[in-house]
Structure 1
Amino acid sequence: MVRIWGEITPEVENIILRDFHANQPYEKLLTDITEFALSNGKLYLSAMIDCFDGMVVGWTIGTRPNADLVNTMLDQVIADLPEGCHPIVHSDRGCHYRWPGWIERMNGAGLIRSMSKKGCSPDNAACEGFFGRLKNEMFYGRSWTGVSLDDFSREIDRYINWYNHKRIKLSLGGMSPIEYRHHLGFAA
């Protein structure tokens, strides 16, 4: 047992071990939260990335990095999973992924938990990489002064939809994640 911020939870094994390769969709999923600091407040993005092709398979945006943010995202992903699919879901050791609501949802859907070593961001590098690309391509270098949190939230949604449907990746043969899945005969 590991004691974290007054909470006692069993330690979870790091199954991924920085092997971010997957042979099919929904085999290995990575999740984390990132923050956007704007002049009028902060927004948080909770996202789940598929190791197969980098597709963002679920996301929520909110003003607090809390259990509701991650649990809502996880509920969305679970609802969209193909029947009989029980992927590994890898996260950092944040309290969001140790709270009873998260654990109950994971267990109820038959998902396999995996967690990074404490304070080791390279253990979730593929998810961190998506956040870096998102911020470099749509956030940094632009003035967001005067943009409401609701409008910025819509911009993040637009980016993620563009990323999944249109943004090409050389590793996918110059296709977007959705195009790549269609090309291989997988449902998106």
Structure 2
Amino acid sequence: MRISEMSVPGAWVFSPTVHGDDRGCFAETFRASEFEKVTGRPFDLLQVNTSVSAAGVLRGIHYTDDPPGQAKYVTCVRGAFLDVVIDLRAGSPTFGRWDSVLLDDRDRRSVFISEGLGHAVLSLADDSTLTYLCSLEYSPEYDHDLDAFDPDLAIDWPAAGRDGQRLTYLRSPKDAAAPRLRDR
């Protein structure tokens, strides 16, 4: 497995070796010892979530008060997503910086998102499916949202999906009403 830190400190991309044959494929997408060696910490799993999205569904930007913070290990098991990580840690030299990675069912990459970072995903194909391993159980009193189209963040959302078709963005009412970074 290749592991590389993103330009937002505290976020890493895990790129497994995918072994394929006429039966299908196999990829080891998480190994605790490798994770701990690179991140310098264990991953305490407390909740697992799965989401299925049509092409154009944009979820986020979501983040959790830190402390307690919620770390996530996100893997695409079907389809494709643009996964975006945003530094929301007060006093961080990279506050407001974002980075992205393609998560799909071909390369089988995963992304680890540390506490204090914001997270958003854009589905690039119908029926795209993500699995989130979470270090904190859902706690609505700690959860917050930011506007994914905040011009101060200037996230470069793609206009076309995996098949080249133009995307029509679809957000939840809660995500569409989320404040800008400067108003949080």
Q: TM-score, normalised by structure 2?
A: 0.24
Higher helix fraction: Structure 1 or Structure 2?
Answer: 1
Q: TM-score, normalised by structure 1?
A: 0.24
Higher strand fraction: Structure 1 or Structure 2?
Answer: 2
Name the structure, 1 or 2, with higher relative contact order (CA <8 Å, separation 6+): 2
